[in-house]
Amino acid sequence: MRWNYERALTAQGWRHDVAVTVGADGVLTEVAPDRPGVGERIRGVAIPGIANAHSHAFQRALVGLTEHRGETRDSFWTWRDAMYRLAAAVTPDVLNAIAAQLYVEMLKAGYTAVCEFHYLHQAPVGGRAMGQAVIDAAARTGLDLTLLPTLYMTSDFGGAAPNEGQKRFVHSVEDFLRLRGDLRTDGMVMGTAIHSLRAVPPPALAELLAGLEADSPIHIHIAEQRKEVERCLEVTGARPVEWLLANAAVDQRWNLVHATHVTEAEMAGVRAAGATVVLCPTTEANLGDGIFPAESFLAEGGSISIGSDSHVSVYLAEELRLLEYGQRLITGERNVLAGMREPHTGVHLHNAAALGGARSSGRATGVIAPGMRADIVVLDDQAPALFGREDGHLMDAWIFGGFANPVKDVMVGGAWRVRDGRHPDEDAVAAAYRAAISRLKTV
């Protein structure tokens, strides 16, 4: 299979008339610029696809249902109660419909893979059925899946018993490892999620890590809320990231989700370990988590990836825009996260998220180059938001413009999943989603 892109952001930078060849395995075998007429012509600007590095698919059904205030001040912890009520009502068929709708939306937004942090395991129907619902949704829509079955055991530091809303998530380590084995599927990357340090006691964490293969991604929620940091200090004498670095062999497999409340010393430890911080700016803003100190982390070579988490937004450009804007509000400066080698803030953030997303998802993606998976997004440079913009300015216009979505075509593993802004199955997927939402109880 061979295509020819008018313009493309390759490993060597911006190039014109880029001929690419893709093998039967979905891997790029040739990326050759300045080759007009070689391969099927694709109009627009090609950029690397990005993995959505943190997703709770079922929470897509919660959007809009928690944006009202009760008798007390609202917080992450009150939002969590509503999330538990939703989780209790989700069955495999409902989860499949929600996930399929979400994954179509991700593809149309410019994501080419997803890391699904999956903890809906038990009643009303549990075990393999819930995980299979996610696997089937990814297969139907063509979004690459890194499945992260999630170990969840306790409700707080010190081994507190799970509350009623959490019981659906709970496994023993032995049962959890068995579930991971049952869910293995060809073409899917199998990783592991530790829900959080408060949900997995230290002995169980050690037992789990001893039972994992040496090369699969590991994800964990950590230091998302100040209350979590305070409780960890109270019970263990250390902050969450500090404790993790001291008690687990954190390395490049590890992905620390949120890590909102960290010290400079903790960030230095994360960088030294080679771990990635998974940032979810729209969800972190929606839940009042706080703002990760991204400027110093990135300036010193830290790795980040991007996720849409609770899916109040499923638009990649909005995540990157809010990431930069948060830093501007803190510093009172502009273009805070631009790199020394890449002065265009949008390009720098996209590159960082693409490379970090490859690490988070355990896939050879993030750059258009031979040997990498053919995950390619094409932006419509004739769209009003991008017209007249060249190269880095075009990427900046996409990320910081906030206009209509200019994602035109999306290729995943050499197969077109979106053409001219449409997914071939989107109407049927949307109809199934509407039917599933109609069956859910109001939360």
For the chain, which residues make up each domain, given as ranges?
2-48+367-427, 50-361
What is the three-class DSSP state of 332?
coil
Low-confidence ranges of the chain (pLDDT < 50): 442-443
Backbone angles phi, psi at 441, to 5 degrees: -70, 145
Q: Which residues partner with 167 through β-bridges?
A: none
Region label for 388, one of left (φ > 0), alpha (ψ between -120 and 50) or beta (otherwise): left
Catalytic residues: 258, 309
Model pLDDT for residues 368-378, shown as the tens digit of each residue:
999 999 999 99
**Residue whose pair of structure tokens reads 């500090």 in the numeric block:** 242
* DSSP codes joined into one string, 274-308: T-EEEE-HHHHHHTT-----HHHHHHTT-EEEE--
* DSSP codes joined into one string, 106-169: HHHHTEEEEEEEE---STTS-THHHHHHHHHHHHHHT-EEEEEEEE---SBTTTBPP-GGGGGG
Q: What is the pLDDT of residue 443?
A: 47
Would you state the structure tokens that stand for residue 107, as one six-digit string? 């593809």
CB 288 within 8 Å of CB 263: no
Q: Looking at domain 2-48+367-427, what is its CATH homologous superfamily?
A: Urease, subunit C, domain 1 (2.30.40.10)
The yes-or-no answer to whether 2-48+367-427 and 50-361 have a common fold is: no
Q: What is the pLDDT of residue 441?
A: 62
**Domain 50-361 class?**
alpha beta
CB 317 within 8 Å of CB 379: no
What is the three-class DSSP state of 19?
strand
Model pLDDT for residues 164-181, shown as the tens digit of each residue:
889 889 999 999 999 999
In single-letter form, the type of residue at position 179 comes to L
pTM for this predicted structure: 0.97
